[in-house]
Each structure stands twice: as C-alpha cells, then as structure tokens.
A and B are shown apart, each in its own frame.
Chain A
Amino acid sequence: MATIDLTEVRRVMQLCRLGLTNEEQRRMQEQLSKIVSYVEKLNAVPTGDVAETHQVTDQANVTRADDVQMQPPDVVAGLLTNVPEREGRAISVKTVLTK
C-alpha cells in the first residue's frame, strides 16, 4: 500500500494553498494513502506505446480573432459587486511585495 506521510501532506497543502488543521492533515494522510493505493492498480496495465488521450472529440486549433470584447456595463458592475473588498474599480489585497 502506498503511504503518503505527513511531510508529503504538508508539501501538497502548501502547493494548493490549503490551511488544514493537524486533525485534517492526519485524516488526509490516511485517506489519500488509501485512494492512491487504489489508483496504483493502473501499474498492472501495459501502456508502452499507447498514446495519451487529452481530449475525446479530436477538435484542433479552435481559434478566434484576438480582439478585445467590451462587456456591457451591467456585466462589469455585476463582476465588481462580487469582489469581497475593493476601492472603486480596484480590487484590494494585502501587500504583495514587502521591503
């Protein structure tokens, strides 16, 4: 059975920006180990020269002109209304760069 230790859980937690409690981390370690052990059954399938499937409809190069499309004012207002903290049309965040 694959084991994911607590150090690994904490590494992944940092990567996906989750702040789990110690209890959550312990439970996550146990559950992820179980799930990862299950999915490792794929190792039994020979896939040497098999191509990967990234999408199933074989669509390719769906493009459009690189034009700026202005949104109607009510859509812009709606987007801004959903911002948790803002000043006018600007979104407020904590300081990103410090000295």
Chain B
Amino acid sequence: MHFADLAIHTIRDGLAKKTFSCRELISAHLARIEAVDATIHAFLQVTQEAALQQADVVDKKIAAGETLKSLDGVPVAIKDVLVTKGVPTTAASKILEGYVPPYTATAVERLYAAGAIMLGKTNCDEFAMGASGEHSAYGPTRNPWDTERVPGGSSSGSAAAVASGMSIAALGTDTGGSVRQPAGFCGVVGVKPTYGRVSRYGLIALASSLDQVGVLTRSVDDAAFVLQAISGQDAQDATSVDMPVPNPAALSASDLKGVRIGLPSEYFIEGMDPAVERLVRATADTFAAAGATTVDISLPHTEYGLAVYYIIQPAEASTNLARYDGIRFGKRVDAETLERVYHASRDAGFGAEPKRRIMLGTYALSAGYYDAYYRKAQKVRTLIRQDFADAFRSVDAILAPTSPGVPFRLGDNVQDPLTMYLADVFTVPANIAGIPGISIPCGWVGGLPVGAQLMGPMWSEERLLMIAAAAERALALPRRLPNPG
C-alpha cells in the first residue's frame, strides 16, 4: 500500500474493486502508527480494537454488495478536545486525566455516520492553547519533516498524523489558527470553516465566539469530503447555522480563470521570513499564470488582530475553564476547605499556558478593566470584520502566508509567551471575522513545508475549496511522505 497515493477516492475505488480489504487498509495505518509514532507522538491513544472491528463491518458490507457511503472505511484521527463516548478524552490536560465521556461530539458522530473509522485521539496543546504542540501535558508532538522542530499547534497531533501517513484525515479545532498553522508547518491541507458551519456540541470549549471544528488532510479533495460529512446545523449547538453544505463534486472541474485573488499588503511584512514571503508571492504568480487575476489590497486593521485576539480569547477561555474545579469530574486534590480544594485542584491540574490565559482573561474581565480591554477589543473586532467585507467586494479570495516563518525548533519559544503568540499573527483575523480559511502546501524552504492561506467570505467554503483545488493543481507539488524515526 503506497500511503502517499492514498486518498478518499482511491480508498473508495480500492475497496469497491476489492484491491484491498478495509481490514488491510486499517491494519496498514495501525502498522504505520506503530512504526513512526514512538518518534512523532501524534497520538495520545490508539483505538486499535474498535478500529479493526469497524473495518470488519465495512468488509461485510462490501461482501454483501451494499453501496458504500462517502467515508466508508476511511481512517480518521480525532483531536483530543472532541469528546468520544467510552474513549478517554483529556484535552491534553492533567486536569482531565482519566475522564471518560458519556457521549460523542456531533462532528465525530457525523464522521461515523458517513462510515469513517477512528484510529485514535490526537495530541494537542493543552485545551488547544498553543502554536507548537509543546504545551501538551503528555509531551510534545514532533514535526515529521524534521523531528527537532515543532509541528505547529494546537492541532499538532492531527497535522503530524496526516502528514506522516498515520491517518488519511483528522479533525482539529481552530480558534486562532490551530488547524491552518500546523497544516502549514506539516505540509498538509487545513480547513477552518465559517463560524457556525460545524457543530461544536461535544467540543471542549476554548473561546466560544471563535472556536470552530476543522479538517486536516493531504489533499483539498479529501478535505471537501470530510467537511461535507461534518457540516450542518445541529440542535445541540445553538450557534450552528442552517446553510447549504459544500459539495465536493464541484471541485474537479474548477479552474482559476477569472478568479480574483487579493494580496493584502499587511500580510507581507518586515520581520517575516523573507524566503516564506518569496514563496507565497511566487504562489500568487503561479495562480496568475493559471488565469487568476491578482490584485493588491489592504486590510488596514490587520496589525491589531493579534491584540484583539489576546483579549477576547483569554477572556472567554477564563470563563470556559472555570468549570474545572475538581468537583464534578476531572482531577480533585483534597484540602481542608472547599475553597482550597478548588485552588489545589486547579493548581495541580492546569499547565503553565492555561494558567497564564485564565489569569490574563480574568484580569481583562475584572471590575475596572472590562471597558478598557474587552469592550475595546470587541469594537476593533468590528473594524477587522469590515476590512474583510470591504475587500470581498472586489476579490473572490485573499491569499496570504499561513505563518510568518517555517517551523521553529522545539524549546525555542516556550519561555517567551508573546513570541509564541506571534506565530498566529496571520491566522487570527479569520477567526475574529468568522470567515473560512484554508491552508494549502505551497512549497519548501530549507526542506521544511510552507503553507499558503486562502480566505473567503462567510459561507464561501464551496467556492474557496474550488479555488484551493485549482490552486493545488496549478502548483502541482509532488506527493511525498516523510520518513521519521
């Protein structure tokens, strides 16, 4: 089985034509995990037996001549912030060690309903707080292209698992770039849908006005199939919206002729890696050669995006994380009084980054500071949304680097939170505005993958995926897999 060539449509063909059985497909992925994950540490848990049992169910369907569903037999990995019934879910935090959810997140239920098979739960930054994967309480994930470097975060394990051939697809979550940035760092495709596109029922919340469940795959086509399966309104999540679901069938015929692509000057800035800038500009030239019209645009409030984000996100996180107090679930540390039980449990259970964000968010929301920080940020948020709305009057999509640099070395930014936060500078604006964004691989700098980000108007995923699929064909990068460990 050649992992680099495996895609959702080739799996469907292979299973239907009995080139391989579903058990063989799943076993091959489990063997790949066995071979490389000791080095990469993408998985917190592998659900081997359940996966093989489900594979046998799919094989029986094939033997009985039943029609296969869109994702029948497709191996998927699930970020450990999405709850899975009967399978421990930790959010990569010690405070949830041993927690076994009694229900399954809607996005995961929908993958199951489409026939996908879960291989296991993936590592991430604790409570999805981080841009490197190093903030996991269970140890960092490594970048499969260079194991001395970070895979990005917070969906670190999901990106690394897909990049290294351990899974075909993975679910991640994106609050400020946590799907797109690791996708860029690992050389895979990462989709952050429009806010409200995918149900967040069963997602362990980070920042509720920003969080969205996203998809990581090795091709745009695969991402479209997975997104189709998980999209749509859900009565269990009042923020999910009833909008037509993107159709993967639209992708194959797409091209870039007549597509207007905006290049925002604020995303090509001093301080970013010049080689990354050159590569993303060359990507724009490739799009133009394929028939797109590239237009210089301005998103004037971009430089305030990160500041808005680092008020709103910790503020919302501090309220969401108030529920972890050692009483109803999770770690409890005994102490003399109830108050001290709370303090001791939270102190022992949370790592440094959640503590920092809880403190920051509580400070920003506390009496006397609310207007100066939170209310101010919510106003600038409006201006950032307006920037995008104005831009999308003249362009179909915006092209920008996913990150200002290539994957950094493990340990380089851990001691300096603000520098770590700057890794999200080009991804947070899409979350602030609620718009969809896709990171696609656009080439290599010094042997390390670089991602190009396409952003579109609210609910434009189908159009954006069509543009991304045409862009992927125009770039025609060779399909290959790293061989770590």
Contact = CB atoms under 8 A, between A and B. Distances in A.
Do chains A and B stick together as partners? yes
A62 to B, nearest CB: 4
A95 B458 contact: no
Interface in B322-357: 322, 325-332, 335-344, 346-347, 350, 355-356
B308 A42 contact: yes
Contact of B417 (A35, A42, A45, A75): A35
Contacts of A38: 306-307, 310, 418
B241 A35 contact: no
A88 interface: no
A6 interface: no
Nearest to B381: A53
A50 to B, nearest CB: 4
Given A17-B346, A59-B196, A74-B102, A31 B326 contact: no
Contacts of B417: 31, 34-35
A99 B434 CA distance: 51
A96 B342 CA distance: 12
B381 A16 contact: no
Contacts of B366: 11-12, 15
A1 interface: no
Interface residues of B, number: 70
A56 interface: yes
A79 to B, nearest CB: 6
Nearest to A25: B359
A15 B339 CA distance: 11
Contacts of A68: none
Nearest to B378: A52
Contacts of A85: 332
Interface residues of A, number: 54
Interface stretch (B55-63, B369-377, B468-476): B369-377
Contacts of B310: 35, 38-39
B103 interface: yes
A8 B359 CA distance: 10
A39 B307 contact: yes
Interface in B164-222: 194-196, 209
B383 interface: yes
A19 B343 contact: yes
Contacts of A54: 209, 378
B338 A53 contact: no
Contacts of A35: 310, 360, 417-418, 421
A84 to B, nearest CB: 4
Contacts of A40: 307
A41 B372 CA distance: 11
Given A83-B329, A94-B337, A42 B359 contact: no
Given A34-B418, A82-B329, A57 B195 contact: yes
A91 to B, nearest CB: 6
A84 B359 contact: no
Given A16-B322, A57-B196, A64-B235, A47 B383 contact: yes
B409 interface: no
Nearest to B386: A50
Given A20-B355, A45-B301, A74-B102, A4 B239 contact: no
A48 to B, nearest CB: 9
Nearest to B332: A84
B379 interface: yes
Interface string B286-320: 00000000000000010110111011000000100
A31 B424 CA distance: 18
A51 interface: yes
A81 B101 CA distance: 10
A59 B8 CA distance: 34
Contact of A78 (B101, B209, B330, B344): B101
Given A13-B359, A18-B343, A39 B373 contact: yes
Given A81-B100, A96-B338, 9 more contacts: A16-B358, A36-B363, A38-B306, A42-B376, A52-B382, A53-B381, A74-B102, A78-B102, A84-B326
13 contacts: A17-B343, A18-B346, A35-B421, A36-B363, A38-B418, A42-B308, A47-B376, A50-B379, A56-B433, A57-B195, A57-B239, A62-B238, A78-B100
